């Protein structure tokens, strides 16, 4: 992942066509919007990541991950793991789908 691609995920103003981005385990990125048009509910986030959520904070955004992704058999999310490692170092990996968004979008 280039520095420009990495910066895209950490800059909320760069999100094209949506409030947030869903990054699946295949590396596909999809714009997603809250059902109410303002903030994501807990149930929306849980549905998108496939279980209980954990929030990882970055400078300008958050990454919402499946809290149990590593132990429930979810596939490695290489794209999300690179984003995580570029900020926190190679201390862990991310499994399952993730949401990248501004923290203000989480209810």
pLDDT in tens, the chain (107 residues): 454 554 555 554 554 445 799 999 999 999 999 999 999 999 999 999 999 999 999 988 999 999 999 999 999 999 999 999 999 889 999 999 999 999 999 97
Q: Which residue has the tokens 């954990």?
A: 54
* Percent of the chain that is helix, strand, coil (3-state, to 5): 30, 25, 45
Domain that holds residue 48: 3-105
The total number of structural domains in the chain stands at 1
| Residues 106 and 71 sit within 8 Å (Cβ to Cβ) | no
Question: Which residues on neighbouring strands pair with residue 98, listed in sequence order?
Answer: 23
**pLDDT reported for residue 17:** 45
Q: Name the token pair of 92.
A: 């862990």
């Amino acid at each position: 992942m280039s520095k420009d691609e990495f910066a895209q995920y950490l800059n909320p103003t760069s999100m094209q066509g949506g409030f947030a981005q869903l990054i699946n385990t295949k590396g596909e990125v999809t714009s997603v919007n809250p059902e109410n048009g303002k903030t994501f509910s807990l149930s929306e986030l849980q549905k998108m990541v496939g279980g209980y959520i954990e929030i990882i904070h970055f400078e300008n955004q958050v990454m919402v991950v499946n809290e149990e992704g590593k132990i429930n058999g979810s596939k490695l999310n290489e794209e999300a793991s690179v984003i995580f490692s570029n900020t926190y170092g190679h201390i862990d990996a991310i499994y399952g789908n993730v949401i990248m968004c501004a923290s203000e979008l989480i209810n």
